[in-house]
Structure 1
Amino acid sequence: MIRKMYLAVMAMGLLSVSCSNDDDATPQIETSGLTLNLTGLEALGDDFVYEGWVIVDGAPVSTGRFSDVTFPQTFQVLSTQLAAATTFVLSIEPTVDPDPAPAETKVLAGDFSGTSASVNSNLVADFSTVAGTFILATPTDADDTNEESGVWFLDNASGSAVTGLNLPVLSDGWKYEGWAVINGTPISTGTFTDASMADDNAATSVFKGDTGNGPGYPGEDYLQNAPAGFTFPTDLRGTTIVVSVEPSPDNSAAPFTLKPLAQMVAADAAVHTSITMGDGPVQSLMGTVNR
């Protein structure tokens, strides 16, 4: 009996040593911190999130998703991948996303130099030379008494209408959108990609009049079906007209943070007269990423 107990104890000892050796042989996964310190980002709503990516050997590797836009934030990434990364990219992704690859809607990017990368939104477009002009008019109805209730991004200073917005071509995943900020609330004029053509809702806008779609440029007549708390027709004098850059698709009814053009309409502004726009409040987003 004593001999059997001794053999059993020896067997347990050998098993313990064997397990210990197996554990020691298991590769240890090492991670390192990637810290984002970004400025100007705004919350996206429930349907979309931001996702960071590092480019390793030409391929994107996710660094994590987030919806909180308070920074700095730190994410754990495989040390070998982080050390080999050449570029950081920030994209906007669906909250429920079956596609493991980055979406077309990329908002920030920058190359690593040593342990840090300076990132900006130039991959969306360079807005440093934008310019804009609009008029007040309501061409979608036959009433000449409410001309201050519509805004159209065209320039008629020469006597005939020409394109009123000088804007760069946007990268995939983005669109422009016009806004009239009425009593502090932005109301869309519609989305567009080409400022020399009518916007996407030219034929379907619920705000426009009933006699036509207006000129072949972005714009809106605020004549009927006003949102709750507003009365149409209205007076756009004293309001602010804005052109923003929006993710596409876009689940938010509010303007995105990129706003390259804006202009307050003077209280005595004349209708049918070109009004020059100024630089908007946010033409570029930026930040730093440290590994």
Structure 2
Amino acid sequence: MKKKMILGVLALGMIASSCSSDDDNSSPTNSNLTLNLDGLEALGNNFVYEGWIIVDGSPVSTGTFSSVDFPQTFSVNSTQLEAANTFVLSIEPAVDMDPAPAATKILAGDFSGTTASVNSNSIVADFGASTGTYILATPTDTDDTNEESGVWFLDNSTGSAVAGLNLPTLADGWIYEGWAVLDGTPISTGTFLDPTTADDNAATSIFKGDAGNGPNYPGEDYLQNAPEGMTFPTDLKGATIVISVEPSPDNDPAPFTLKPLAHVVPDDAMTHTAITMGSGPISVVSGTVIRN
């Protein structure tokens, strides 16, 4: 009887060993996906970056990250990684109940062999042909002694005001925002999608004067309710005027890394006179993604 029990235990052990071996052989293997990206900035506590590979038309997450020190390597299912044809990087809430990618995608590129060259031009917008013009004026009050305290993105050089910004249409999940950087502190002029119309806070700005909303273009009068440490009205000569591209929803009250247009207001700038902007410090984010 004891011999039968021993034989039975040995048989069970052999079956268990065989099953374990089969399981090990059938378990998925992983490969490395290495990101080497240029121009990204930290998102703060409420948002993270998340990588995605597109496999048979469907997104597969490659993991999230907050640090913008590169290169960074992620372990990804080998079969899915080999079958992927595209890499996409999105901005996601840090606490995310939605397993799908957010609309705010900042980088994308197709794999060619083991490497994908990724950039923001293909997924946000291409800012290569962007131009900008602005004037100094304060049309929202009746005081003509503080005209250097407002900035409006319009061009009046022909005698009639027209849109001062030539900007591409943004992909879903992004919005433009204007800024005046005063003594190193950026103060928003408001957000907008269409540079030929007023920005989103035209009627609700706490900074503008009490005589109206200003022209039907993006801009701001810095006349009252100055942030702590500042005084309004001010003088924008010497300040930096910036157009940035912001995630929507926005990750931070400060300007985002994409800034296609910028210009330091000349010390001798004349009010009510068209001033041409130049290229901003960062108009594209790019990098490489390698699978191996």
Name 1:253's counterpart in structure 2. 253
2:22 alignment partner, one of 21, 25, 37: 25
Q: Distance in 2 between matches of 1:244 and 1:233?
A: 24
Q: Which amino acid aligns with 1:112?
A: F
- Percent identity, please: 70
Report whether the alignment pairs 1:12 with 2:9: yes
Per-residue deviation at 1:98?
A: 1.5
Name 1:42's counterpart in structure 2. 41
Name 2:220's counterpart in structure 1. 220
Per-residue deviation at 1:102?
A: 0.9
Q: Which amino acid aligns with 2:67?
A: D
Q: Which amino acid aligns with 1:13?
A: L
Q: Which runs of 5+ in 1 are unaligned?
A: none
Instruction: Show CA shifts across 1:100-130 (max 9, x none).
Output: 1111111000000000000000121111111
Name 2:264's counterpart in structure 1. 264
Q: Distance in 1 between matches of 2:212 and 2:66?
A: 42
Instruction: Show CA shifts across 1:208-229 (max 9, x none).
Output: 1111110000000011111111
Q: Distance in 1 between matches of 2:11 and 2:229?
A: 80
Per-residue deviation at 1:25?
A: 1.7
Secondary structure at the counterpart of residue 289 of structure 1: strand
Instruction: Report matched runs for 1:131-146 at 5 Å.
Output: 131-146=131-146
Instruction: Show CA shifts across 1:166-217 (max 9, x none).
Output: 0000111100000000001111000000000000011111111111110000
Secondary structure at the counterpart of residue 60 of structure 2: strand
Instruction: Show CA shifts across 1:46-78 (max 9, x none).
Output: 111111000101111110111111110011110
Q: Distance in 1 between matches of 2:229 and 2:18?
A: 73
Secondary structure at the counterpart of residue 7 of structure 2: helix
Q: Distance in 1 between matches of 2:4 and 2:58?
A: 56
Instruction: Report matched runs for 1:230-241 at 5 Å.
Output: 230-241=230-241
Name 1:125's counterpart in structure 2. 125
Q: Which amino acid aligns with 1:88?
A: F
TM-score, normalised on structure 2?
0.97
Per-residue deviation at 1:11?
A: 2.0
Q: Distance in 1 between matches of 2:101 and 2:251?
A: 18
Q: Distance in 1 between matches of 2:51 and 2:95?
A: 16
Per-residue deviation at 1:251?
A: 2.9
Q: Which amino acid aligns with 2:159?
A: G
Q: Distance in 2 between matches of 1:84 and 1:188?
A: 44
Per-residue deviation at 1:160?
A: 1.3
Instruction: Show CA shifts across 1:235-258 (max 9, x none).
Output: 000010000000001030111111
Q: Distance in 2 between matches of 1:212 and 1:19?
A: 81
Report whether the alignment pairs 1:98 with 2:97: yes
TM-score, normalised on structure 1?
0.97
Q: Distance in 2 between matches of 1:244 and 1:44?
A: 15
Name 1:88's counterpart in structure 2. 87
Q: Which amino acid aligns with 1:187?
A: I
Report whether the alignment pairs 1:67 with 2:81: no
Name 2:200's counterpart in structure 1. 200
Q: Distance in 2 between matches of 1:32 and 1:251?
A: 32
Q: Distance in 2 between matches of 1:6 and 1:186?
A: 85
Secondary structure at the counterpart of residue 87 of structure 2: strand
Report whether the alignment pairs 1:157 with 2:154: no
Name 1:171's counterpart in structure 2. 171
Name 1:229's counterpart in structure 2. 229
Per-residue deviation at 1:94?
A: 1.1
Q: Which amino acid aligns with 2:2?
A: M
Q: Distance in 2 between matches of 1:281 and 1:251?
A: 20
Q: Distance in 2 between matches of 1:110 and 1:232?
A: 46
Name 1:115's counterpart in structure 2. 114
Q: Which runs of 5+ in 2 are unaligned?
A: none
Per-residue deviation at 1:8?
A: 2.7
